[in-house]
Amino acid sequence: MKNEKRIQRNEVDQYVIDNSQKTMTTNDGVPVQDNNNMLKVGNRGPALQQDHIYLDKLMHFDRERIPERVVHARGSAAHGIFEATADISEFTTADFLKKGKKTPVFTRFSTVAGFKGSTDLARDVRGFSVKFYTEEGNYDLVGNNIPVFFIQDAMNFPDLVHAVKPEPNNEMPQAASAHNTFWDFISLMPESAHMSLWVMSDRAIPRSLRMMEGFGVHTFKFINQEGKATFVKFHWKPRLGVRAVSWNEAQKISGFDSDFHRRDLWEAIDGGDFPQWDLGVQLIPEADEMKFSFDILDPTKLIPEELVPVRIIGTMTLNRNPENFFAETEQAAFDPGRLVPGIDVSDDPLLQGRIFSYMDTQNYRLGGPNFHELPINRPINGKYNNQKDGFSRFDIPKGAVSYFPNSKAEGCPFHAKLKGEGGYQSHAQKIDAAKVRARADSFADHFTQARLFFNSQSPEEQEHIVQAFSFELSKVDDVDIRRRELAILYQVEKGLAEQVGHNLGLTPPKELDPLTLQFARQNHPQYPIQPKKPEIQKSDALSMQIKPGEGTLQTLKIAFLLDDGVSKASVDTMRDALEKEGAKAVLIGSHVGKLKFLEGDTEDIQHTFLTDASVLYDAFYTPEGDSVAKLAANPDYLQCINEGFRHCKALAFAPGAESLLKHTLVKEDKGVILGSKKKLIDDFINVVKGYRVWEREKSRKVQA
């Protein structure tokens, strides 16, 4: 959405410092006369320890780095606004979800496995976390771009992360799951089968952070005025649609621009193309908790939209980039246990464990228990309690009393109910059970939903999953691990296992490995347990292609490939049409600076075949003019066209530029639009709206 009024958090913005037209000072506000030279004995003599200006500067510099997040270290974020658009007061008392209410938000996207300096385009889960600054306190919806997770119980979380991180003996590989320790762990955990297929799908390599779904992953609870609970699953639906890049393309983007996603988000917001997501919920009455063939508290399971439709209740618009990456994006502290009245957690065992882990890790990495006083984490309604002291205390509490109950401060601060406010109340859930270290048998079906996901994909998406498993397991040099994982894939889908096995030169075992069974039976002594009959065999909502939504060119980047002598009319006609659809036309030539048109005009361009690559663009157009002969002799142009074709992108050629095809490997198909044969502009726009011509992979045997 362009040019929406920007709503700012004054409580945060008051801390923004603008250095323009200001005299330099030390951190104590002392004006600095010379910031280039230490205090010395003579201009060639030794430095003096009394140089408090230098000490002030270097002491801060030496402490500028804080521990990075153990997971989700690589992140990008933006400010925005959430507007509630539906009346769901019968389900929840949450104030920010009242129809018409607008609430400031801060949203952080991230990869999971890599370090802070890793590439944006790793094959990985993406974090999708939203901090709502509500009038009842901060609420954090801490989720991912995949609706399920690898494990069912938080006890396994450190092991999962240790397995996917670089191996401890050599600190390799970075931001990758294609290695021994990860697949060793996964092949011993049948419960990971469902999530593994999602991560091996195109969902794990999004085209843009603005073009991916978000999910709360866990089942939560809405609580209404009467204290009645309703189970809820959260969904973020992007207005731009759900898009991905190919794996080959992702690897190359990492080389050309490892900040590809971060730059894309920043430039879109900076240019007024504010990304939007609709917030949807799946609502399940308490009475239906055990209604389905799967357990809704199992985080390795999703609720198909065909069984419980997603109800849209609001829209989030990100409309402002951070002023300072460290102060905001890096210091933002998210916690799934940061709840507001009307929302509560369920008994999902992974969610229960996360509630401690997230708060604990923020306490550690942000220097103590007062991290909530950092500007980016402060609630807009203030905080009032008797907690005191600790590292990095920003607030200055008044008075002599720091305990409760008290009489000296007239009992302040009051309990919410003493002032007529509801306050936060946990759901009054009745429980009658023994304390055990065990797992419910309703969590024991590990393959039905993995099969559902695979069967719901288009043929091209299924082929991408085969390629992804083949790539990952090819990097595993332990054949026993490969066989164990093939046995798991065989339980999911025989054809999938056989295709991957063929690529690895192995015959998939039909039965689970004895070691895998041993570990599975530690959780379920009678494993394998006969699963219940699933309600559906296929769900279009799980495919990015079968149900892509209404196609759009909004914010897609179209490369115009040209050189001096290009026809300005040929450029402008196409550019005007694409920009009317919301696309970004980018002129790419043989040099930066003045581009000379055939008609005699000039235009400044900033992109060249040397600095840019095909993988950074969504489609390609070659105009006509005297530039055509120059492009025919330009190997970088030919490389760009050939690679764009390989990655299943649309290519359009003006009538006078069609002769260039004979110099390329491009074969005419529905995604290659020739101006002399088709309606150049209309056909090009229609193909680009479909994003990729994926069938080209099979028909032309061009692997993406």
Report the distance separating Cα 623 and Cα 597, nearest Å: 11
State the alpha helices, DSSP H only, in 168-310: 180-187, 193-199, 247-256, 260-270
- What integer pLDDT is reported at residue 558 of this predicted model? 98
Question: 184-219, pLDDT tens digit by residue?
Answer: 999 999 999 999 999 999 999 999 999 999 999 999
Q: What is the mean pLDDT of the chain?
A: 94
CA 327 to mean position of chain CA atoms: 20
| Residue type present at position 424 | Y
Whether 630 has a pLDDT exceeding 80, the answer reads yes
Instruction: Tell me the average pLDDT across 300-327.
Output: 97
Look up the CATH architecture of domain 557-699.
3-Layer(aba) Sandwich (3.40)
Element spanning 327, H or E: none
432 confidence band (pLDDT: 50, 70, 90): confident
Least confident of 9-13, 58-62, 104-108, 641-645: 9-13
Whether 6 has a pLDDT exceeding 60, the answer reads no
| Residue type present at position 4 | E
- What integer pLDDT is reported at residue 13 of this predicted model? 63
Give the HSE-up count for residue 257: Cα atoms under 13 Å, Cβ half-sphere. 14
Whether 296 has a pLDDT exceeding 70, the answer reads yes
- 3-state DSSP call for residue 83? strand
- What integer pLDDT is reported at residue 547 of this predicted model? 57
Per the model's pLDDT, the better-predicted residue between 493 and 702 turns out to be 493
Rounded to 5 degrees, what angle do the CA atoms 62, 67, 68 make?
125
| Residue type present at position 524 | H
- What integer pLDDT is reported at residue 3 of this predicted model? 39
Question: Which single residue is written with the structure tokens 């609709």?
Answer: 278
Least confident of 268-272, 316-320, 412-416, 523-527: 412-416
Q: Are 247 and 471 in contact (CB under 8 A)?
A: yes
Question: 256-271, pLDDT tens digit by residue?
Answer: 999 999 999 999 999 9
Distances (CA, A) of 355 to 161, 163, 335, 337: 17, 22, 7, 5
Whether 345 has a pLDDT exceeding 90, the answer reads yes
Instruction: Tell me the average pLDDT across 61-65.
Output: 91
Instruction: Tell me the average pLDDT across 216-230.
Output: 97
Instruction: Tell me the average pLDDT across 54-75.
Output: 93
Instruction: Tell me the average pLDDT across 137-160.
Output: 97
pTM exceeds 0.85: yes
Q: Which two three-digit tokens encode residue 371?
A: 């991290």
Question: 557-699: same fold as 75-153+205-377?
Answer: no
550 confidence band (pLDDT: 50, 70, 90): low
- What integer pLDDT is reported at residue 20 of this predicted model? 86
9 confidence band (pLDDT: 50, 70, 90): low
Any idea where the domains of the chain sit in the sequence?
A: 75-153+205-377, 557-699
Sign of the four-CA dihedral 130, 132, 137, 141: negative
Q: Are 85 and 312 in contact (CB under 8 A)?
A: yes
12 confidence band (pLDDT: 50, 70, 90): low
- What integer pLDDT is reported at residue 695 of this predicted model? 85
Whether 344 has a pLDDT exceeding 80, the answer reads yes
Query: CB neighbours (10 Å) of residue 364?
Result: 13
- What integer pLDDT is reported at residue 546 of this predicted model? 63
User: With the CA atoms of 208, 210, 212 and 217 taken in that order, what torsion angle do they form, in degrees rounded to the nearest 10?
Assistant: 130
- What integer pLDDT is reported at residue 543 of this predicted model? 95
Instruction: Tell me the average pLDDT across 339-343.
Output: 96
Q: Which two three-digit tokens encode residue 439?
A: 């797992």
Instruction: Tell me the average pLDDT across 168-180.
Output: 96
Buried b / exposed e over 442-462, threshold 16 CB at 10 Å, is bbbbbbbbbbbbbbbbbebbb
Whether 280 has a pLDDT exceeding 80, the answer reads yes
Least confident of 7-16, 114-123, 287-296, 604-613: 7-16
Active-site positions read 72, 144
Q: Which region holds residue 100: left if phi is over 0, alpha if psi is between -120 and 50, else beta?
A: left
Per the model's pLDDT, the better-predicted residue between 394 and 234 turns out to be 234
- What integer pLDDT is reported at residue 677 of this predicted model? 85
Question: 646-698, pLDDT tens digit by residue?
Answer: 999 999 999 999 999 999 999 999 999 999 887 999 999 999 999 999 888 87
Q: Are 622 and 642 in contact (CB under 8 A)?
A: no
- What integer pLDDT is reported at residue 5 of this predicted model? 38
- What integer pLDDT is reported at residue 28 of this predicted model? 85
Greatest mean pLDDT among 34-43, 498-507, 685-694 lies in 498-507
Whether 1 has a pLDDT exceeding 60, the answer reads no
- What integer pLDDT is reported at residue 263 of this predicted model? 98
Q: What is the 3-state secondary structure (H, E, C) of 448-517?
A: HHHHHHHHCCCHHHHHHHHHHHHHHHHCCCCHHHHHHHHHHHHHHCHHHHHHHHHHHCCCCCCCCCHHHH
- What integer pLDDT is reported at residue 415 of this predicted model? 85
- What integer pLDDT is reported at residue 7 of this predicted model? 41
Q: Considering only CA atoms, which of 681, 670, 688 is closest in space to residue 569?
A: 681
Instruction: Tell me the average pLDDT across 352-363.
Output: 92
- What integer pLDDT is reported at residue 416 of this predicted model? 85
Rounded to 5 degrees, what angle do the CA atoms 178, 180, 182 make?
70
- What integer pLDDT is reported at residue 580 of this predicted model? 97
CATH of domain 75-153+205-377: 2.40.180.10
DSSP secondary structure letters along 20-66: TT---B-TTSPBPS-SS---BSSTTSPBPTT-HHHHHHHHHHTT---
Question: 552-602, pLDDT tens digit by residue?
Answer: 999 999 999 999 999 999 999 999 999 999 999 999 999 999 999 999 999
Report the distance separating Cα 237 and Cα 312, nearest Å: 9
Q: Which two three-digit tokens encode residue 1?
A: 């959405």
Report the distance separating Cα 520 and Cα 525, nearest Å: 8
